[in-house]
Amino acid sequence: MAESSDPPLLGPLLLFVGLALLASVDVINDLQGRSPGTHELVEIGIALLAAVGAAVFLRRLLEQRRTSRLLEQKLGRSEAEVERWRSESARWRAESEEHARGLGAAIDRQFDSWELSPAEREVALLLIKGLSLKEVAAVRSGSERTARQQARAVYRKGGLAGRAELAAFFLEDLLAPVSPTSGRGSATS
């Protein structure tokens, strides 16, 4: 990062240093044992201005490098944080994958016991995922009326009053809070 931002300030810095050196050498040559005249005083002023310009650009260059190092450190910390989250996400997915497969198999067995058609199974899964009837229709490229009829068939075959009972049938026990005696880190578990 520092390399890409140095050249814009490095060029003017070198220019001012060069001007200061050239003006100083010229003043020394011009004086050669005599008092400074107007010409020499102007050259001394130019040398001083060039030295001040060089100092300003050197200061800016050093500030820019310090800022660049700080940003690189922050970027490194951010990249480490992103990697930590990726690792945690991958671990969570791996841990939950087996449970998800088991839940999927249990849902399939329940759908089998309710004797749902393939279309009703798909509608039921979409409703459990939280989609509205309009969204179910859009996903299935069908009408909202058809989705509503299939949802009613699912509720009837499952002996359920509606969408809330359908979701609760499969999810209620999964979302129960962990009790202190059976939770993670418990001495009894």
User: What is the model's pLDDT at position 1?
Assistant: 42
For residue 18, what pLDDT is reported? 81
Q: What is the 3-state secondary structure (H, E, C) of the chain?
A: CHHHHCHHHHHHHHHHHHHHHHHHHHHHHHHCCCCCCHHHHHHHHHHHHHHHHHHHHHHHHHHHHHHHHHHHHHHHHHHHHHHHHHHHHHHHHHHHHHHHHHHHHHHHHHHHHHCCCHHHHHHHHHHHCCCCHHHHHHHCCCCHHHHHHHHHHHHHHHCCCCHHHHHHHHHCHHHCCCCCCCCCCCCCC
Q: Residue 137: what pLDDT?
A: 96
Q: 19-76, pLDDT tens digit by residue?
A: 888 888 877 877 777 777 887 788 888 888 888 888 888 888 888 889 989 998 888 8
The model's pLDDT over 97-114, given as tens digits with 9 standing for 90+, comes to: 887 888 888 899 999 999
- So what's the pLDDT on residue 92? 86
- Contacts from 159-167 at CB under 8 Å and sequence distance 24+? 163/127, 166/124, 166/127, 166/128, 167/127, 167/128, 167/130
Task: Say yes or no to pLDDT of 2 above 70.
Answer: no
| Model pLDDT, residue 163 | 92
Question: What is the model's pLDDT at position 187?
Answer: 45
Determine the pLDDT at residue 88.
Answer: 92
Reported as a single tens digit per residue, the pLDDT across 140-178 is 999 999 999 999 999 999 999 999 999 889 887 676 666
pLDDT at site 3: 46
